[in-house]
């Protein structure tokens, strides 16, 4: 029960890495605020946690909108009694070059992947600071550390997440708010399979290529959730401003 008594807000909680993290956090004793646009999936994960004896709520939220983010933080505090952990996990991807990316697509990727972290952190940090501290974990990507083909907006957004994490760690360490970043490699989620469709490949073909890394497989959402748990828990009490790569060795060489 490494998160006993903690309250965690998780974005993108209806599926993939967010869902796996919500379940793991609840298993470790946290009350979970599951935030997503997907109402059916979000309600389902919250109900699963409650049925297993945990505490959870679902909040529908467009993380690119300030009013929604402010409401999500406020309702989490009101209904669950505080906010100790913020997992900024919501994300989208557009597989295209500069020439094939529309302005609207660029803006959408930046709004969901970067602006959401700014907005939610802006409302969460004062709550955490008043309570004596907290932990923020941002979802970056291996493509926030190296470039990738036909993903210019996504690479730009995740590069911003990585360096934004460092800047936030510097700014808020004095308030006992730790800020770290987890950078997954290819992980078996709906978003990864959507990449295959965007590139005109079958799921099987795309996933086989993604498994070409030292450990010989793609990641599972639970693999990433374990890293997020470490960064959220007291086990990482002296870790802030860090980037944790969880990619089966994909960036090793």
The values of phi and psi at residue 53, to 5°, are 95, 5
User: Is 230 known to be catalytic?
Assistant: no
Both structure tokens of 19: 């869902």
Contact present, 16 and 27 (Cβ < 8 Å)? no
Q: 3-state class of 134 per DSSP? A: strand
The alpha helices in the chain, defined as continuous H runs, are 16-27, 39-51, 66-80, 103-110, 116-130, 152-172, 190-198, 203-210, 221-232
For 115-137, letters b (16+ CB in 10 Å) and e give bbbebbbebbbebbeeeeebbbb
Asked if 139 and 184 touch (Cβ cutoff 8 Å), the reply is yes
Which of 154, 161, 165, 168 is flagged as catalytic?
Answer: 154
Report whether 229 contacts 17 (CB < 8 A).
Answer: no
- Whole-angstrom Cα distance, residue 5 to residue 28? 10
Distances from the Cα of 150 to the Cα of 93, 99, 122, 196, angstroms: 11, 10, 32, 12
Active-site amino acid positions: 154
């Amino acid at each position: 029960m490494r998160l006993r008594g903690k309250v965690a807000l998780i974005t993108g909680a209806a599926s993939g890495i967010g869902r796996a993290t919500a379940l793991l956090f609840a298993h470790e004793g946290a009350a979970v605020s599951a935030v997503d646009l997907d109402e059916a999936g979000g309600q389902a994960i919250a109900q699963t946690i409650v049925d297993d004896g945990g505490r959870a709520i679902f909040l529908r939220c467009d993380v690119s909108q300030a009013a929604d983010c402010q409401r999500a933080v406020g309702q989490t505090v009101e209904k669950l009694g505080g906010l100790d952990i913020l997992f900024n996990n919501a994300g989208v991807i557009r597989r295209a070059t500069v020439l094939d990316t529309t302005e609207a697509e660029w803006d959408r990727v930046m709004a969901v992947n970067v602006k959401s972290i700014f907005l939610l952190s802006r409302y969460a940090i004062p709550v955490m600071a008043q309570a004596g501290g907290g932990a923020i974990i941002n979802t970056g990507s291996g493509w926030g550390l190296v470039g990738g083909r036909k993903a210019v907006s996504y690479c730009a957004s995740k590069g911003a997440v990585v360096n934004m994490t460092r800047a936030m760690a510097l700014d808020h360490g004095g308030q006992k708010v730790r800020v770290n970043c987890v950078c997954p490699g290819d992980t078996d989620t709906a978003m990864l399979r959507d990449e295959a469709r965007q590139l005109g490949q079958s799921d099987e073909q795309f996933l086989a290529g993604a498994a070409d890394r030292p450990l010989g497989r793609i990641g599972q959402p639970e693999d990433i959730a374990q890293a997020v748990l470490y960064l959220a828990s007291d086990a990482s009490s002296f870790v802030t401003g860090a980037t944790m790569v969880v990619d089966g060795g994909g960036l090793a060489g």
